[in-house]
Structure 1
Amino acid sequence: MAATGGTSNAQPSADFIRSEIDAYGFRRPDDFDYETYEQFMSQYLSVLARRAGKWDKVMDGKKNVKKSFKVKRYVRKGISNEYRGLVWMYVSGAEAMKEQNPGMYQRLLDGPKDAELMEVIKTDLHRTFPENIYFCNDSTVSKRTSLQNVLVAFAHHHRADGYCQGLNFIVALMLLILKDEESCFFLLETLVKNILPAYYTPQMAGLKTDQEVLGELVKQKLPAVAQRMEKEAVPWSIPTTKWFICLFLDVLPIETVLRIWDCLFYEGSKILFRVCLSLIKQNQDAILGASSFPSLIESFKTVTLHSRNTDCHTFMQNVFADSQPLSRALIEKFRTKSNEDETN
């Protein structure tokens, strides 16, 4: 899994850029495209420096941040790593939830445990980013205990739904950014309750609805792609479930994922549709060129592997340009229609 470096004022050296391990502890794959990455970083470093300076002025020593048009604009252009965790907590509402529930996290950790839940979680721990120095088996700086704690507390707080696989990866990345278990717990709570309700449940009703919504949006904005999907009878759940459930984690470079998450925690689920539409639009020639059901599925896999995804700054500019206009009212209209169709 590739990443595109940190977001501090310090400029990484050539040795760092060529390092086998990225800024977030991920080992780069053997086929990592260092040449494309270096070309990107040679331009992106100046962007990082400018963004860091602007965030310094916005924060100005403050320990919180409030939503505003200016902050939204800054979030879309990328949150400086120094402030990313703090900004996520405040703009998502997770910090307010944390303040309203003092002691909840520790009480969940100290309370009685369900043996079956514990076993499922422990099994997932070893599957979580084995290529990352913080989560691999031989780690000397392991975050596995913290990962287990957050997942255990969350699962026991949601006993009716149980534990949903995929959350381990989301929490692991949260821990790399926030570095605090309790904050990760409440950020996860905010994500599953307020931002993506009914995604991480046994029925995954919210996820299924939003995949139907994506299908309707593609019909409207990329009709040729929609027709191709219908011709081969490919449901949107096949190519996009991993996109939605893991929030593009493990299918896009880490720095690009973090830029998406910046917008997710500020603007909500609409960013997921924007990213999906942009990925499909940017790669529609390959999708339309697929000649069969298997090749069509394969074309969606290659969508996320394109070298252009490394340039997270241009990627996000395309995300907003490619999906305009996209109103929240339209998304809600399609959600309502999907739910009514399901009921009837």
Structure 2
Amino acid sequence: MPFSFESISSSFEKITTNLNNKMFGPLTHRGVSYEFLGQTDHCNNSPTISRKPPFNNPLTVKFQDLYGFNVEGNVDDVNVMNEVRERVKKQGRVWWSLEANKGANWYLQPMISSNGEGIRVASLKLSVLTNTITLKRLVRKGIPPTLRPKIWLSVSGAAKKRSTVPESYYNDLVLATEGKVTPATLQIDHDIPRTFPCHPWLDSPEGQAALRRVLVGYSFRDSNVGYCQGLNYVAALLLLVMKTEEDAFWMLAVLLEDVLVSDCYTDNLSGCHVEQRVFKDLLAKKCPRIAAHLEAMEFDVALVATEWFLCLFCKSLPSETAMRVWDVLFNEGAKVLFHVALAIFKMQEEELLEAQQIGDVIDILQTSTHHLYDPDELLTVAFEKIGSMTTNTITKERKKQEPAVMAQLDQRLKRLNSLKSREQTQ
């Protein structure tokens, strides 16, 4: 059963009761809805847990961000956003200068793979190694929005993936799936009207039709994934950034097939459960004071981190900040999600240590992410204050956690089957 915001605001004791199932309770997949705690949807009328942010200027203003979301914030939010946009303009001049000096596609030369596979450093020419290091540094500082579609397609591997199939692949897929009805399409049709409903284009017939085609198309491309809630938000942001359905489709494909850990969105969400366990262990290592305090409170970090990992922060962070996270994600891989999640906790360490109730922790994290309009601050903490985390280290952690996750999922399945058997015999 999904959590309701009414029950959260009326009594946090009800949350505690419902959370006895921990991370294996509310998350479901095909045909069954789940809701995220403290979601913002970048909308003014979304249900939130209200808490006054500690800003100097509490005056509320409404404005539209770079990707067309109508946002409600305060004057400090607007000032920060304007400062960030000025930095983006300066960074854009760096990108243009490099294109003028090195060529428009200088970053397309062979590069070191983010997962440690492929070309070895020793075999690289100095110019290629220099480009690789330069690209990593530039991407962390932000890709200019106008260059984002082209660079995402390149560094993520989406363009290469698309080149392995006929040019008509996406159009043929759309035509082949038109009118088909599956459990996935039924859930997609249910979720699309609820996907960023305050965005003018995504709330229009044109926008919703485009989003549906991308999601339905992918559900037929990979029947093991089909469709899982959370993908609607990811695909919606991809459409806003990439501008074309086909580009958004291939970015979704490369995300699910190459960038993210496998099984994150499959039937039992086992990959997502593994990521939550890995994150909990990393939090204990990187932020031990916070981890100890939350454990004493019996607070499960999956309450907030599940949404972060399934929606890739696009429902919790302002869209312009989330896209800066995605810049690095597509270039460096899924380890970026752990860096950013840890940074969010780290940035609120003192306030979290003062929290005494589960609701307070949710409130602190929700409010802080909602007002995190400075991606440079977030990414500086993520990569300079959290410390190094290699992909190999995280892979080992995943393998360590997988047996326990699969055993717990198996027990849950047996309980469900047992309950169904009892109901049938009664």
Please say if residues 218 and 226 of structure 2, whose CA atoms lie closer than 8 Å, have aligned partners that are also in contact. Answer: no
Q: Given the alignment of the two structures, is residue 251 of structure 1 paired with residue 316 of structure 2, yes or no? A: yes
Equivalent residue for 1:65, pick from 107, 110, 118: 107
- Please give the alpha-carbon distance, in whole angstroms, between the structure 1 residues aligned to 2:304 and 2:182: 34
Give distance in 1, aligned partners of 2:353 and 2:193: 38
Taking the TM superposition and a 5 Å limit, the aligned residue runs for 1:176-191 are 176-191=240-255
Residue number in structure 2 paired with 1:90: 154
Equivalence map 1:170-181=2 (5 Å)? 170-181=234-245
Q: 1: distance between equivalents of 2:363 and 2:376?
A: 26
Alpha-carbon separation, structure 1, partners of 2:401 and 2:365: 24
Residue 226 to residue 146, structure 1, CA distance change in 2 (3 Å): same
Aligned partners of 1:76 and 1:98: how far apart in 2?
26
What is the match of residue 196 of structure 2? 129
Q: Deviations over 1:27-63 (max 9, x none)?
A: 123xx11x21343245334422221111113334635
Where do residues 195-274 of structure 1 align in structure 2 (5 Å cutoff)? Answer: 195-196=259-260, 197-274=262-339
Distance 2:82 2:243 in 1: 29
Among 41, 65, 70, which residue is 1:22 paired with? 65
Name the SS of the counterpart of 2:64 in structure 1.
Answer: coil
Shift in CA distance, 217/114, structure 1 to aligned 2, threshold 3 Å: same
| Alignment match of 1:105 (pick from 166, 170, 174) | 170
By how many angstroms is 1:133 displaced? Answer: 1.2
Displacement, 1:238? 1.4
Q: Distance in 2 between matches of 1:44 and 1:341?
A: 43
1:325 maps to 388
Which position in structure 1 is the counterpart of 2:233? 169
Cα 1:42–1:258 shift into 2, 3 Å: closer
How far apart, CA to CA, are the structure 2 residues paired with 1:193 and 1:164? Answer: 14
Write the distance in 1 (CA, Å) between the matches of 2:90 and 2:297. Answer: 47
Structure 1 counterpart of 2:83: 43
Q: Find the aligned partners of 1:317 and 1:175 in 2 and give their Cα distance.
A: 28
CA contact (8 A) 2:321 2:373 kept: yes
Q: CA deviation at 1:159?
A: 2.2
Measured in 2, the distance between the counterparts of 1:170 and 1:155 equals: 14
Residues 189 and 214 of structure 1: is their aligned pair in 2 closer, same or farther, counting only changes over 3 Å? same
1:290 to 355, 373, 379: 355
Unpaired runs of 5+ in structure 2?
Answer: 1-41, 44-60, 112-131, 408-426
Cα 1:143–1:286 shift into 2, 3 Å? same
Quote how far apart the aligned CAs of 1:176 are. Answer: 0.8
Distance 1:181 1:64 in 2: 26
8 A contact 1:64–1:86 mirrored in 2: no
Contact 2:340 2:378 in 1 (8 A): no
Q: CA deviation at 1:85?
A: 0.8
- Distance of aligned partners of 1:45 and 1:252 in 2 relative to their CA distance in 1, 3 Å threshold: closer
- Distance (whole Å) between structure 2 residues aligned to residue 72 and residue 157 of structure 1: 31
Q: Percent identity?
A: 30
Letter in 2 for 1:318: V
Which deviations, in whole Å up to 9, do the C-alpha atoms of 1:257-312 show, x marking residues without a partner?
0100000000011111111111101111222212133333333333423x4x1112
Partners of 2:270 and 2:405 within 8 A in 1: no
How far off its partner does 1:209 sit? 0.9
Partner of 1:313: 376
Flag structure 1 segments of 5+ consecutive residues without an equivalent: 3-17
Residues 274 and 320 in structure 1, CA contact (< 8 A), matched pair in contact too: yes
C-alpha spacing 1:63/1:107, structure 2 compared with 1 (3 Å): farther
Kept in 2: contact 1:280–1:303 (CA 8 A):
no
Moved more, 179-188 or 114-123: 114-123
In 2, are the aligned partners of 1:212 and 1:236 still within 8 Å (CA)?
no
RMSD: 2.1
The question of 1:156 aligning with 2:196 is answered no
Aligned to 1:304: 369
**1:59–1:65: 8 Å Cα contact kept in structure 2?**
no
Instruction: Rate the CA distance shift 1:244–1:108 in 2: closer, same or farther, 3 A.
Output: same
- In the alignment, the residues of structure 2 paired with residue 37 and residue 101 of structure 1 have an alpha-carbon distance, to the nearest angstrom, of 45
The 3-state SS of whatever aligns with 1:242 is helix
Q: Could you say if the C-alpha distance between residues 27 and 303 of structure 1 is closer, same or farther in structure 2, counting changes exceeding 3 Å?
A: closer
1:111, CA displacement in angstroms?
1.5
Q: Match for 2:199: what amino acid? A: N
Give distance in 2, aligned partners of 1:313 and 1:107. Answer: 41
Q: Partner of 2:345 in structure 1? A: 280
Match of 2:93 among 45, 53, 62: 53
Distance 1:235 1:167, change over 3 A: same
CA contact (8 A) 2:297 2:356 kept: no
TM-score (norm 2): 0.71
C-alpha spacing 1:280/1:19, structure 2 compared with 1 (3 Å): closer
- After superposition, the C-alpha distances for 1:184-231 in whole angstroms (9 at most, x for unaligned) are 111111101111121111211111111111111111111121112222
